[in-house]
Chains A and B, each alone.
Chain A
Amino acid sequence: KNEVEQSPQNLTAQEGEFITINCSYSVGISALHWLQQHPGGGIVSLFMLSSGKKKHGRLIATINIQEKHSSLHITASHPRDSAVYICAVKASSNYKLTFGKGTLLTVNP
């Protein structure tokens, strides 16, 4: 079993829909990252969080440390949100990041 599990693997939505991507992890962590990777390959860090909730524009990230679970929400989705969204955790015991396999989001106009 992977230390970081994401669901769903693939997600197709219509423009304007509310999107939720989930991430579960099995180790104690000090931080969780949400990353976005566009088809060109570049990776952008969206959020780094260790508790609660963060919001940036139409993106919201939440984390529940007790349940070892995080969600990334996109409100009013747009075709330009089409990308792979990757969850990564930094374990409390070391300095490395462990990545989920990513969720491919396609938003159709």
Chain B
Amino acid sequence: DSGVTQTPKHLITATGQRVTLRCSPRSGDLSVYWYQQSLDQGLQFLIQYYNGEERAKGNILERFSAQQFPDLHSELNLSSLELGDSALYFCASSVVSRTGWLGEQFFGPGTRLTVL
């Protein structure tokens, strides 16, 4: 058990819909990362938050957005869903030092999203 929790475990929805994925980082970790893993693309970095602020952006679509709340949990919102958005979505957390050094990342169990 990594200490990172994600809900829900599975999500089945229809095209055009909007969903919210939730992540709680390990106790004490200020940095949260979101990743997408699809069969054809492999693992891709979406976005990183540090202590409530967006720090880095990867291949995140405009239909997707995320935020990190004061209690450090994070939510990834996916809207206008398409069939191609079906994937495993992972959240990870890590320690980040004041100098910006990134510690080891601990991954949550993932949310499997199926868009029908």
Contacts and interface: CB of A to CB of B under 8 A. Distances in A.
Contacts, number: 53
B58 to A, nearest CB: 5
A94 B45 CA distance: 12
Interface stretch (B17-25, B73-81, B106-114): B106-114
Interface in A31-66: 31, 33, 35, 41-45, 48
A42 B56 contact: no
A42 B42 contact: no
Secondary structure of the A contact surface, majority rule: strand
A96 interface: yes
A48 B2 CA distance: 15
Contact of B102 (A43, A90, A100): A90
Does more than half of chain B's interface fall in helix, strand or loop, or is it mixed? strand
Contacts of A41: 88, 109-110, 112
Contact of B107 (A44, A48, A94, A101): A44
A98 interface: yes
Contact of B56 (A31, A96, A99): A96
Interface residues on A, range: 20 to 34
Question: How many B residues are at the interface, by size bracket?
Answer: 20 to 34
Contacts of A35: 107
B45 to A, nearest CB: 4
A41 B56 CA distance: 25
B110 A95 contact: no
B48 A43 contact: no
10 contacts: A35-B107, A41-B112, A42-B109, A43-B107, A48-B105, A94-B56, A95-B55, A95-B100, A98-B45, A101-B42
A-B complex: 10 closest residue pairs judged by Cβ atoms = A95-B56, A43-B107, A99-B43, A96-B45, A48-B104, A101-B42, A96-B58, A96-B56, A97-B45, A45-B104
Interface of B: 2, 33, 35, 42-45, 48, 55-58, 88, 90, 92, 100-107, 109-110, 112
